Structure 1
Amino acid sequence: MRFLLIFSVGLFGIQNAFSQRDTLDPKKIIKLDDIVVSAQIEPQSIRKSIKNVQVITEEQIKSLGASNLGDVLNQYVNITVVPSGESGRSTVSLFGLDSDYFKILVDNVPLVNEGGFGNNTDLSQINLEDIERIEIVEGAMGVTHGANAVSGILNIITKRKTPNQWDISYSLQEETVGKEYNIKDRGRHIQNFKATHNINQNWLASLGTTRNRFMGFLGDYNGKNVLYNSQGRGYMYLPRTYWQTNALVNYHSQKFNTFYKFEWMTQDIDYYDRNIKSAYNDRWGAYKYGNDKRYFYKRQFHNLNLNGIGWMNYDFSFSFQKQTRENEDFRYIISQKTEADNRKQLIESMQVFYSKGNLNKLFYDKKLALSLGYEATSNKGFALVDAEQNRTREVQKNIDNYDAFLVSEYHFTDKFSTSIGGRYSFQTLFDNQYSYSLGTRYLFKDNYEWRASVGRSYRTPDFYELYSNIIFEGHHFLGNEALLPESSLSVDTSLKKLTSFENGATLKNQIGISYNTIKDRITSALIGYDGATPKYQNINISEYKYINLSSPNKLIIHNFDLNIGASLTWISQLINNNQYQTDSRYLLNIVGNVGLSYNIPSWDTSISGYYKYVGKSQLWASTANGYVVSERDPYGWLDASIKKNLLHKRLELTLGVRNLLDVTTVSRTLLTVGHESSSSILLGYGRSYFLKLTYNLNINY
């Protein structure tokens, strides 16, 4: 607490280092205040928004040279990106809550994955080249975004306009993976093509495709063609190939707009068995092999949006999405470098019909804004799960909900606004659910902005938690069809200060505190033994609370752009499965970040650096003997890049280094009475260098 107070007071005090003048230049307000749409009745500036909205721009994404969404979010102070070398997935954690509580949307439509809708999204399966900006809202968003928007939402706004008749771009990015790189089978290789055409003053069409080939990271392993277990077969991070193709048709007039967006995504991941086995047949004689796999992900995304203004403003979306995962199991004959006994089958799928609409209108000389909306979701899930005696069984279920919500904003004056909202959800699989929210915003003198809100949200169990069973020798991990929805109550408040100075500098300071409590939290807990084999099952056994104190700050002075932030999060998790339990103590997590960019206009060049410090953090860990506190060691993450425009901005050259501090793993220690044991958590694949070239062709005739 003392650290963050000193940090915030120090940054607020920076103001006096420049000037005693404390007036805000309206031009700088416009520069700082992006127009946002997330959690708003209608598009409006951040300054007018009752919710705090963080914006990541296209330029910031470009300066990072990011290869996936995880590279972008890794610099966000309250977000932790959680990679998995074993599965190839990368997900997000906010306030210590995993991706099941954080909703990811594309143009306000939740994004499907093979096990859910909007949550547990694999960040590596999102195309960065089509993003105009990213809007992040922290806290309870259950009223406007329904189930599972407990810790917040991330809304990806895609590109739907261009000032030119034709915009054609092609980019090529080459990146080392740690020290590993060659053009054939090491490193990362990314290509992107996009063409956008203004057909006339009303119609626009675009087509784009992206290929991202990650050749894996060997680390301490030696690939697939080793013959002995002592040689370390496989990869630390699995190889994968990502393809995404998208198309857009947009019609725009003065009072009406509609667009249809299509996306097709595939991602193939190669898995290599760590254990080498021996066998014999008449064809090859004695041979070595591994039981290898390939994971095939496919996603189709359709979204039709209609919006316009009239007596009442309206916005309707109709979406169909489907994502599947197929596994191909085969025996890789190492000595022959060939495959045998290939078997391919569907493992998981999620098919979703989704529609959301709202009508909004201003009353009483625009003082009162009302929005009435609905959300309808029909999920059809499939999973092939493990069963007893080494068998499998198919699970097919429909999970549907039909919601209605009402949000109102009343502007008492230009400085004072409040918002009240409520949602009721009719559930087919669970008891009906509800959410509510109350928020307020007040603009004080000297450009101080105060915001506060309270809200109730809920999370419904996903397909994994309900139905998946993983049964293998030594462990049983079981789903639970009797799970109940979780409920959460959150409260947050923040104070923001905007200051401009006589020398042209602009400073934005903010400090905020939030509290959230979650009841009936779903946790995988030890429920007993089958002989000597421990059995774990998802059950509603825990209560989760967090207190977050954070302070993001921004300074713009001439061509410098400096961001400094810090966050303290105290997490309490009370778990009781009638056999083992935790206590309700609060465990502390500390994060800080610094981002600096410098623009050199005469060279048409920008230089950027981003550093994130993650302090020593604690959490409860489940062991065969009960729950114990585990500690993860601190680490720092540093990215840097330089971007240069050439040929009158037709050519963009970006050079950079990711993970400059060469982080790969961090130690995690289990703290038990009289004994400590350590293990490693995989965080990255070491220092990597990248080069990106983008050619932009703008045609007007």
Structure 2
Amino acid sequence: MSLNKNKGLLFLTLLYPLFGFAQESKTTEKDSLSMQQLDEVVLTGESKVMSLSKKLFAVGVLNQKDIAKVAGNNLADILNYNLNITVTPDPSTGRSTISMFGLDGQYVKVLIDGIPMASDNGMGNNIDITQINLEDVERIEIVEGSMGVLYGDNAVAGVINIVTKRGLDNTHRWQLQLSVQEETVGSEYALFDEGRHIQNAKLIHQLSDKTSISIGGSRNDNAGFFNDYRGKNYVNIQDNAVVNDSLRGMEWNPKEQLTAFGNFNTSLGRHNIFYKIQYYDESVPVYNHYVNGRLDSNTGMVNPTALDENFDTERLMNNLNLTGPIKGSTVYNLSLSHQTQKRYYKQYVYNILQQGIESIIADDLSQSSEIWYSKGFVSNMVPKSNFFNLQLGYEFNHQTGFDAIATGEYSSDVVENTLENYDFFGVADFNLTDRLSIFPGARFTNNSQFGNKLIWSLSSTYDISNTFKIKAVFGSAFRAPNFEELFFYFVDSNHNVQGNPDLDPEDGISLFLNVEEKFRLSDASMLKTALKSYYFDIDGKIASVIDVDEQDRNLFTFDNVDRSRILGFSLENSLIMNRWQASLGMTYLGASTIVDESTDNNSDYLWSFNLQSALSYTVPSINTTLSAQLKYTGRTQIVQSGTDGTEVGQTDDFTWMDASARTNITKDLSLTLGARNIFDIVRVNASDTPTGAHGSGGTPSRLFGNGRSYYLKLLYNLNFN
């Protein structure tokens, strides 16, 4: 059970008055083709404003129906099915991060309503996607291709935008939505101490045709994954002595998450105002596998203890968005945000026999950041011209804080740092013909650490026909060092880990090509095919290095020493036919990495193959949708530093499959039953990781799943006036 259980009980007590109501109205929007469907939509925060995004980028949309099919509670639950996105969990920290087109989370920007989300080390990048709850989400937009001009540094592989639901689209004034979800974690389940237990509540009020408010909250209690470990209260005592068999603790540490939010949306004439406040709290206890078997001096009996830890993350977000016309069809978009992120670290001695904390070793604020953010732009600045148009904008980011357990040498003194960005950007639209357009763009960025830099892009669209279209994006592969890489400081008698404030941004080129054709097979059937190719060449890639400090001690830090190239090809197909929906996609990706460009090493491409498919069928007579998703992740290889220079590390291939059935029991009550990880994946052999499965002492492996799991979700909606 999470150490944060009391917070969870308080949270539920506050929400209890809402549980006297109930139910969700049937959604009437049409099912998407699949989770790989690509529609031409405009990013929220730019809705009805930013026509360039709609014309330029291939945008995948996951709507509420897609989320409901798989009972998705957080972003990790749903992105795992995307062909070109890989979700990588870390069982020790509980974090799950993503890679896109072979580039990790540092190269993907995550937005909430067009505003970058604060994380442990910056704005919008390397986000723990398990921390993003989906109960308040209208849709998820996945934009592919380099978007550095529009969204700044680190939007190299693409952008994921989480769009908040605003108001009600029916004739009712009130809507109360409640849901309960119970899941096994592998074969493990108990009402409190095993499995996954999720509760959600949301209340929406449509005050008028133009104004709505909503409030809600969620609790996700993941009790962790034992996988033959014995839990926090296990100890092996033989002959009044502790035998350290390394079976205490858990394979996957437990995690409890609480989310609360409030939204306000209104229109004043032709101007729209949207405000969102969200609070998030997460507690992750870490149970030490090693047990201290000291003897009690009074009784002479063994008194086993363990040195355990707890990480508690708190985040508060305030986002404001204003949109409207300036004159005629020339429109503005203004976003303002204030976000705080704090991580608390506690280390304590846990008495196993007494099942309580014996003493606290450390109780510190280990990471803190406060972020002020603003972005504004004006679109359609030349509305009367059919040949030329223009968008101009600015972006401002001010971050203060620290990231370390100790930020003063051999002390706990806190040294705060500041990171600022002042950016100005513009994108032009040249319509050379009715079918051919080009979009040159540039962003000038001034950063408090590395000075002035230029991000550029040149994009083009060519509509061969109304259904056959080509999009190309060519631009900078620009990534700025994050707060941790610049300022992390953890120095004591046993550690010497420091950021490098002299880091330069990574740069290079990126190329993304999308060729798409739609085939109307009949009035009720459509086939969509997209062929994609992408290439990234990144110079001065930031990597962890070992150096020597002024006192001749080993210094673990960061430097611009590597070079990375990625070349890939994808083919994606989606079909809608009466009550059937299906998709099939495959990608072939090659990665070439030069570790430390000052040394000689192999720069050949290492190739991998991935495949994704999905199938669903709706049975109208019983209001039920059956669906299944399968993803094959091929063998991946990376070049890494070894004891004798560089070497190739490998992670074996594996196949992941989920299936579910969603039915409307009544017009008000829906039930979703499903199974995750049907092929029972837990660990995958991986020679690029130093440790293997516990007790094996053999082949190193990486933890990807917690075994075959089953879930049940009940959702109830009450609509009333």
**Aligned pair in 2 of structure 1 residues 529, 275: CA closer, same or farther (>3 Å)?**
farther
Contact residue 534 and residue 624 of structure 1 kept, 8 A = no
SS of residue matched to 1:669: coil
More deviation, 466-475/229-238: 466-475
Residue identity (%) = 34
Give the C-alpha shift of residue 425 in structure 1: 0.7
Please state if 1:296 is matched with 2:349: no
**Which residue of the partner structure matches residue 217 of structure 1?**
225
Aligned residue identity for 2:67: I
Cα pair 1:670 1:678 within 8 Å, conserved: no
Q: Relative to 1, partners in 2 of residues 1:274 and 1:470: Cα closer, same or farther, differing over 3 Å?
A: farther
Determine the C-alpha separation between the residues in 1 that align with 2:495 and 2:629.
Answer: 41
1:203 aligns with 2:211: yes
> Alpha carbons of 1:525 and 1:239: their partners in 2 closer, same or farther (altered >3 Å)?
same
Partner of 1:546: 566
Matched, 1:682 2:703: yes
Counting only pairs closer than 5 Å after superposition, residues 53-132 of structure 1 correspond to structure 2 as 53-132=59-138
The whole-number CA distance in structure 2 between the counterparts of 1:415 and 1:552 is 24
Tell me how far apart the structure 1 counterparts of residues 434 and 70 of structure 2 sit (CA, whole Å).
38
Equivalent residues in 2 for 1:625-636, closer than 5 Å: 625-636=644-655
Instruction: Identify the residue that residue 264 of structure 2 maps to in structure 1.
Output: 249
Residue 547 of structure 1, CA deviation: 0.7
Whole-Å Cα distance in 2 between the matches of residues 325 and 497 of structure 1? 48
- 1:306 matched to 2:326? The reply is no
- Mapped partners of 1:446, 1:415: distance in 2: 9
Asked whether the 8 Å contact 1:665–1:682 carries over to 2, the reply is: yes
**What's 1:481 paired with?**
501
Check if 1:329 corresponds to 2:347: yes
2:573 and 2:546 map into 1 onto residues whose CA distance is 43
> 1:201 and 1:450 mapped to 2: Cα distance?
40
Does residue 655 (structure 1) correspond to residue 673 (structure 2)? The answer is yes
Structure 2 CA distance for aligned equivalents of residues 654 and 525 of structure 1? 48
* Change over 3 Å in CA distance of 1:33–1:411 after alignment to 2: same
Which stretch shows the higher mean deviation, 435-444 or 367-376? Answer: 367-376
The aligned residue for residue 639 of structure 1 is 658
Residue 270 of structure 1 corresponds to 285
Please report the TM-score for the alignment, with normalisation by the length of structure 1.
Answer: 0.90
Code of the aligned partner of 1:668: A
- 2: CA distance, partners of 1:532 / 1:686: 47
3-state SS of 1:144 partner? helix
Partner of 2:193: 185
Equivalent in the alignment of 2:370: 351
What's the counterpart of residue 718 of structure 2? Answer: 697
The counterpart of 1:561, out of the listed 581, 585, 589, is: 581
Corresponding residue for 1:145? 151
What secondary structure, in the 3-state scheme, does the structure 2 residue paired with 1:425 have?
strand
Instruction: Give the 5 Å matches for 1:10-21.
Output: none
Distance in 2 between the 1:241 and 1:472 partners? Answer: 31
Partner of 1:394, secondary structure, is coil
Letter in 2 for 1:611: L
Q: Provide the C-alpha distance between the structure 1 equivalents of 2:294 and 2:179, rounded to a whole number of angstroms.
A: 47
* Partner residue, 2:534: 514
Code of the aligned partner of 1:680: S
How many angstroms apart in 2 are the aligned matches of 1:358 and 1:46? 12
Matched, 1:497 2:517: yes
Q: CA-to-partner distance for each residue in 1:426-462, whole Å, 9 max, x for gaps?
A: 1111121211111111111372111112111421111
1:148 to 1:38, Cα distance in 2 relative to 1, 3 A = farther
Indicate if the aligned counterparts of 2:137 and 2:163 stay in contact, CA closer than 8 A. yes
Letter aligned with residue 82 of structure 1: T
Which letter maps to 2:126? N
Contact 1:581–1:626, Cα closer than 8 Å, also in 2: no
RMSD of aligned C-alpha atoms?
A: 2.7
Is the counterpart of residue 156 in structure 1 residue 166 in structure 2? no
Q: 1:448 to 1:44 in 2, by over 3 A?
A: farther
Provide the rounded CA distance (Å) in 2 between the counterparts of 1:338 and 1:39: 48
On the 8 A contact 1:637/1:661 being kept in 2, the answer is yes
Q: Once the two structures are superposed, what CA deviation does each residue of 1:567-600 show, in whole Å capped at 9, x if it has no partner?
A: 111111112265x553211111211100111111
Q: Deviations over 1:170-193 (max 9, x none)?
A: 000000000000112100000000
For residues 587 and 395 of structure 1, the distance between their equivalents in structure 2, rounded to whole angstroms, comes to 42
1:68 is displaced (CA, Å) by: 2.0
Cα 1:472–1:62 shift into 2, 3 Å: farther
What code does the residue aligned with 1:245 have? A
Aligned to 2:175: 167
> How much does 1:537 deviate?
2.7
1:620/1:76 Cα in 2 relative to 1: closer, same or farther (>3 Å)? same
Superposed displacement of residue 646, structure 1: 2.5
CA distance in 1, matches of 2:157, 2:465: 31
How much has 1:415 moved relative to structure 2? 2.5
Counterparts of 2:38 and 2:631, CA distance in 1: 23
The residue number in structure 1 matching 2:184 is: 176
Gaps of 5+ in 1: 1-26, 672-676
Distance change >3 Å, CA 542–CA 531, structure 1 → 2: same
Could you say what secondary structure the match of 1:459 adopts?
Answer: coil
**Aligned to 2:245, what secondary structure does the other structure show?**
helix
CA distance in 2, matches of 1:669, 1:138: 31
How far the C-alpha of 1:669 sits from its partner, in A, is 2.8
* Cα distance change on mapping 1:387 and 1:322 into 2, 3 Å: closer
Contact map agreement 2:379 2:390 (CA 8 A) in 1: yes
Q: Structure 2: which amino acid aligns with 1:689?
A: Y
Match 1:440 to one of 460, 472, 475: 460
User: Bigger CA drift: 483-492 or 445-454?
Assistant: 445-454
Amino acid at match of 2:323: N
SS where residue 116 of structure 1 aligns? coil
Matched AA of 1:679: P
Q: Which amino acid aligns with 2:561?
A: I
Per-residue CA distance 1:532-565 (angstroms, 9 max, x = gap): 9975431110111111111121111111111111
CA distance in structure 1 between the aligned counterparts of 2:507 and 2:522, rounded to whole angstroms: 49
Distance 2:152 2:53 in 1: 25
By percentage of residues, which structure has more strand?
1
- d(CA) in 2 for partners of 1:585, 1:110: 35
Question: Paired residue for 1:594?
Answer: 613
Distance 1:370 1:188, change over 3 A: same
Quote the Cα distance in structure 2 between the aligned partners of 1:183 and 1:241: 15
**1:3 alignment partner in structure 2:** none
> Which has the higher mean CA deviation after the structures are superposed, 178-187 or 271-280?
271-280
CA distance in 2, matches of 1:473, 1:632: 35
Deviation at 1:284, TM superposition (A): 7.1
8 Å Cα contact 1:34/1:45 also seen in 2:
no
Structure 2 residue aligned with 1:668: 686
SS of 2:485's equivalent? Answer: helix
Does the Cα contact within 8 Å between 1:41 and 1:360 map onto a contact in 2? no
Unaligned runs of 5+ in 2: 1-31, 237-243, 690-697
Q: What is aligned with 2:12?
A: none
Instruction: Specify whether residues 629 and 531 from structure 1 end up closer, same or farther in structure 2 by C-alpha distance, changes over 3 A only.
Output: farther
One-letter identity of the residue aligned with 2:680: D
**Aligned pair partner of 2:428 in 385, 408, 426:** 408
Separation (CA, whole Å) in 1 of partners of 2:583 and 2:612: 8
Deviation of the 1:35 alpha carbon: 3.1
Greater CA deviation, 100-109 or 63-72?
Answer: 63-72
- Asked if 1 retains the 8 angstrom alpha-carbon contact of 2:288 and 2:306, the reply is yes
> In the alignment, which residue of structure 2 is the partner of 1:428?
448
Partner of 2:670: helix, strand, or coil?
A: strand
- How far apart are residue 167 of structure 1 and its match? 1.3
Alignment of 1:273-288 (within 5 A): 273-280=288-295, 286-288=302-304
TM-score scaled by structure 2? Answer: 0.88
Give the CA deviation at 1:416.
2.3
